[in-house]
């Protein structure tokens, strides 16, 4: 009974985290407000700081709230093992790029299209798992990947628009930028996730300590990216320009979402994760259409979404899918 409750709680948390992050991020990037819009590069940096602090607290809790034990484990695992720590620089840099790309994607795509297209990370994770970890995929898994590609292709199929040619051209340009950002994010997610999994399997260290190491590099890469890309605007108005309640909500969801998923994922089997993905896509579609009003679904989109949802379930049908450890 308790196990069943935990499963349903896991389902609720997974659906809430994936849906709320996408919708609030999309809303924050399209909201018409006075003054400058917040900088996506700044939000990525602040999220890294939150993740590091959250992981330090979790390590602190793991060691019975002992400051001496916390200090010892951080020095031993981070300062005294520089080569092990440096291994995390590669996935950390890729994750930082990915986080910035998600802001670009949701600035140019509606939440529903983004949610469906981003499921291509299943394909990239599977391919990297086969090539880097030597995993073997079953017949159902290969079939699901083909269905997944067909579904995403249908979702991106151009639909007839009643808008004028100028607006339509502008919309097509925005969609191209958004889809490109999602595709690059899918590739980076697949590679970084499998690479991180490989590192975790080669060591017995706590996943929270590994996430602190990731966060440290992520903070450095994020600051460098912010100063390189938005340096002038930061000097003019500060890195917290345009921040409001919605912005802080987005940052908190992005920072803590991975930690929440990592905590509940052990209770979520493949079918449950499939349900979570499917419900998240459906909720994103409904909220984009009725509340955000930035999405007008076509019959081709619905067909593509059904194929993607089917592929998600089918992928978990035979054996275990390649794990993509949650990067907090």
Q: What is the pTM of this model?
A: 0.83
Tokens found for residue 98: 């990915």
Residue 328 lies in a domain: no
Residue 323 lies in a domain: no
257 touches 14 (CB < 8 A): no
Residue 57 lies in a domain: yes
In degrees and rounded to multiples of 5, residue 105 shows phi and psi of -60, -45
Tokens found for residue 22: 């996408």
Q: Tell me the per-residue pLDDT of 2-42, one tens digit each, with 9 for 90 and over.
A: 666 777 777 788 788 888 999 999 999 888 777 788 999 99
Buried b or exposed e, range 155-172, using 16+ CB within 10 angstroms: bbeeeeeeeeeeeeeeee
Burial status of residue 325 (CB atoms within 10 A of its CB: 0-12, 13-18, 19 or more): buried
| DSSP, residue by residue, 234-282 | HHHH-TTTT--HHHHHHHHHHHHHHHHHHHHGGG--HHHHHHHHHHHHH
- Report the alpha-carbon distance of residue 240 to residue 238 in Å, rounded: 6
pLDDT in tens, the chain (328 residues): 566 677 777 778 878 888 899 999 999 988 877 778 899 999 999 999 999 999 999 899 988 899 999 999 999 988 888 888 898 899 999 999 999 999 999 999 988 899 899 989 888 988 998 998 888 888 888 998 999 999 998 888 766 554 445 444 445 558 889 999 999 999 998 898 888 888 877 777 778 888 899 999 999 999 999 999 999 999 999 999 999 999 999 999 998 876 776 666 556 655 666 677 788 888 888 888 888 877 788 889 989 999 998 888 888 765 444 455 545 5
45 touches 222 (CB < 8 A): yes
pLDDT of amino acid 87: 87
Residue 48 CB contacts under 8 Å (≥ 6 apart), including other chains: 96, 215, 218, 219, 222, 255
Residue 296 lies in a domain: yes
Burial status of residue 181 (CB atoms within 10 A of its CB: 0-12, 13-18, 19 or more): buried
Q: Which domain holds residue 96?
A: 11-316
Residue 186 lies in a domain: yes
Residue 278 lies in a domain: yes
pLDDT of amino acid 171: 55
Residue 324 lies in a domain: no
H or E stretch at 179: helix 165-202
Neighbours of 307 (CB within 10 A): 22
Q: Tell me the per-residue pLDDT of 50-103, one tens digit each, with 9 for 90 and over.
A: 999 999 998 999 888 999 999 999 999 888 888 888 988 999 999 999 999 999
For the chain, what is the domain count?
1
Residue 70 lies in a domain: yes
pLDDT of amino acid 57: 93
pLDDT of amino acid 100: 94
Question: Based on C-alpha coordinates, what's the Rg of the chain?
Answer: 20
């Amino acid at each position: 009974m308790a196990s069943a409750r935990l499963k349903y709680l896991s389902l609720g948390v997974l659906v809430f985290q994936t849906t709320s992050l996408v919708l609030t991020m999309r809303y924050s990037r399209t909201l018409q407000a006075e003054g400058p819009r917040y900088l996506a590069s700044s939000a990525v940096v602040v999220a890294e700081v939150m993740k590091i602090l959250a992981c330090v607290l979790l390590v602190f809790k793991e060691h019975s709230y002992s400051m001496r034990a916390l200090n010892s484990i951080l020095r031993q695992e981070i300062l005294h093992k520089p080569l092990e720590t440096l291994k995390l620089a590669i996935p950390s840099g890729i994750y930082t790029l990915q986080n910035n790309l998600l802001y670009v994607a949701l600035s140019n795509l509606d939440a529903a299209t983004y949610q469906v297209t981003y499921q291509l990370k299943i394909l990239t994770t599977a391919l990297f798992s086969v090539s880097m970890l030597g995993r073997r995929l079953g017949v159902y898994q290969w079939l699901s990947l083909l269905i997944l590609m067909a579904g995403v292709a249908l979702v991106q199929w151009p639909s007839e628009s009643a808008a004028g040619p100028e607006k339509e051209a502008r919309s097509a340009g925005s969609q191209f930028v958004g889809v490109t950002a999602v595709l690059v994010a899918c590739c980076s997610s697949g590679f970084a996730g499998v690479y991180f999994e490989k590192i975790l399997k080669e060591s017995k260290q706590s996943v929270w300590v590994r996430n602190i190491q990731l966060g440290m590099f992520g903070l450095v890469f994020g600051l460098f990216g912010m100063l390189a890309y938005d340096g002038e605007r930061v000097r003019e108005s500060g890195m917290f320009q345009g921040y409001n309640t919605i912005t802080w909500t987005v940052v908190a969801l992005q920072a803590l979402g991975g930690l929440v998923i990592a905590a509940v994922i052990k209770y979520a089997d493949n079918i449950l994760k499939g349900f979570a993905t499917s419900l998240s896509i459906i909720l994103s579609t409904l909220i984009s259409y009725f509340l955000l009003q930035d999405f007008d679904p076509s019959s081709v989109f619905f067909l593509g979404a059904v194929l993607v949802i089917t592929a998600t379930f089918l992928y978990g049908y035979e054996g275990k899918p390649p794990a993509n450890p949650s990067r907090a």
